[in-house]
A and B are shown apart, each in its own frame.
With several copies, the nearest count.
Chain A
């Protein structure tokens, strides 16, 4: 093992970690908000919106992110009306496009996950809330959202880790995050295995931290499900 090379590679790759994290956190936030919108369309009664949401979820879950990203970045610019619109100054930026396509994709997945969480809320608990006069936003905020989020959390953790790995595709659109930098190093040194090993360690550590944080969150949100604390036992 050439430790000097590994060390040098690691240093180069670590410099790209902030870019990976920026892509990751922004796309999770934007994607999460978008997912809420989609899931609202999907479960709210309006058939047109619901069909739109279904189509959206189908397309963005069903096709590879690589293709989506390519079409967003290179494809949108092909249309004159976009190129000459007020959006172009934003869409011109590779970083914006990368975040946008990552967010669009994760929104499809997250919407399905959130919907699963909502379905897991006991209809009886919802009825109980209605029976004391809750409805609309209050019902969502106090009963539906907390329970649904708790139910969705395990699946959502998985999705977040998948997103972390998906940021690797951003080098396609000239955003040089960890994997892109690793591939560039490889095409300079041709030492595929060593470089990818370093990259793998970085992703593994990042994902491990995320998963630990998520399971901590999960633990703190599931007091009501844990085994009966001895003090309460009859």
Chain B
């Protein structure tokens, strides 16, 4: 059902102390959207993602997930969610994949994947295991299901983290630089999985430095600069003639090393 708004962010602001990192960002993601978030280091990309699933509480603004608004209490300059229960529920609908994987080191890969469905969603264990095995096969690490995270390569860990997030059947997936901690050889594996997800119609928000992903996989590119959306558009618009000078300079920088 394309056209349904899965995620809607209105005018999000976030300050750390006196330092305003996000200065009012809005964004809508509809079903099947794959949005690339680009921007220089420190421009607030990670903070933005973390505000969406409330790992940070935004100082101001509204967040709607699948039509439900996250209720916030704003009082005297600080704000906090009104209901921890709602936060837990919203989070279970948003899959997050961290740059540094953050797999639970004391659980095997399979246990990592079924942890959320079994204990947060309280679904039957056997069913979850069956689904988890399908997911692990999909990301190509089914043979590692009984290994511990520490015994996997970076690329394998990252794919396990994706499987873990997918197992919650989230409405929207948030990726924070999913490949930047990987050896160049492993980047390919992870990008292949993400591309497959995009083709299946998963709504995704991806902070990335991989221009080829932004250009070829996503259907929208958002360029952030100093806590604001500097420009956004389809990949063709952004990488084509319509690029703003700031974005042009930004992607120019990527040309040098590679």
| Closest chain B residue, CB of each to CB of A134 | B120
In the assembled complex, how far is the CB of residue B203 from the closest CB belonging to chain A, in whole angstroms?
A: 16
Within 169-209 of A, Cβ neighbours of B (below 8 Å) are at none
What band does the interface of chain A fall in when counting residues whose beta carbon is under 8 Å from B?
20 to 34
- Do A234 and B42 touch (CB < 8 A)? yes
| Closest chain B residue, CB of each to CB of A222 | B106
Q: Is chain A's interface secondary structure helix, strand, loop, or mixed overall?
A: helix
Q: Is A147 an interface residue (CB 8 A)?
A: yes
Q: Is B27 an interface residue (CB 8 A)?
A: no
Q: Is A232 an interface residue (CB 8 A)?
A: yes
Given contacts A232-B144, A234-B153, contact A138 B106 (CB under 8 A): no
Q: Is A150 an interface residue (CB 8 A)?
A: yes
A75, B164: Cα distance in complex, Å: 57
- Do B106 and A147 touch (CB < 8 A)? yes
Within 132-189 of A, Cβ neighbours of B (below 8 Å) are at 132-136, 138, 142-143, 146-147, 150
Q: Is B150 an interface residue (CB 8 A)?
A: yes
List B contacts of A129 (CB < 8 A): 104
List B contacts of A234 (CB < 8 A): 42, 153
Contact of A224 among B87, B89, B98, B150 (CB under 8 A): B150
Q: Is B82 an interface residue (CB 8 A)?
A: no
Interface centre among A134, A150, A223 (most CB of B within 10 A): A134
- Do B102 and A127 touch (CB < 8 A)? yes
In the assembled complex, how far is the CB of residue A166 from the closest CB belonging to chain B, in whole angstroms?
A: 31
Given contacts A133-B116, A232-B144, A232-B147, contact A125 B104 (CB under 8 A): yes
In the assembled complex, how far is the CB of residue B153 from the closest CB belonging to chain A, in whole angstroms?
A: 7
A234, B183: Cα distance in complex, Å: 16
Q: Mark B76-98, 1 if CB is under 8 A from A, else 0.
A: 00000000100111111011101
In the assembled complex, how far is the CB of residue B89 from the closest CB belonging to chain A, in whole angstroms?
A: 6
Q: Mark A9-50, 1 if CB is under 8 A from B, else 0.
A: 000000000000000000000000000000000000000000
A1, B104: Cα distance in complex, Å: 57
Q: Is A8 an interface residue (CB 8 A)?
A: no
Contact of B92 among A125, A132, A150 (CB under 8 A): A132
List B contacts of A122 (CB < 8 A): 102, 105
Within 101-143 of A, Cβ neighbours of B (below 8 Å) are at 122, 124-125, 127-136, 138, 142-143
A225, B149: Cα distance in complex, Å: 9
Binding site for B on A (CB under 8 A): 122, 124-125, 127-136, 138, 142-143, 146-147, 150, 221, 223-225, 228-229, 232, 234
Binding site for A on B (CB under 8 A): 42, 53, 55, 84, 87-92, 94-96, 98, 100, 102-108, 115-116, 119-120, 144, 147-151, 153, 161, 164-165, 168
Given contacts A127-B102, A129-B104, 9 further A-B contacts (CB under 8 A): A132-B92, A132-B95, A132-B168, A133-B91, A133-B168, A134-B88, A134-B120, A229-B151, A232-B151
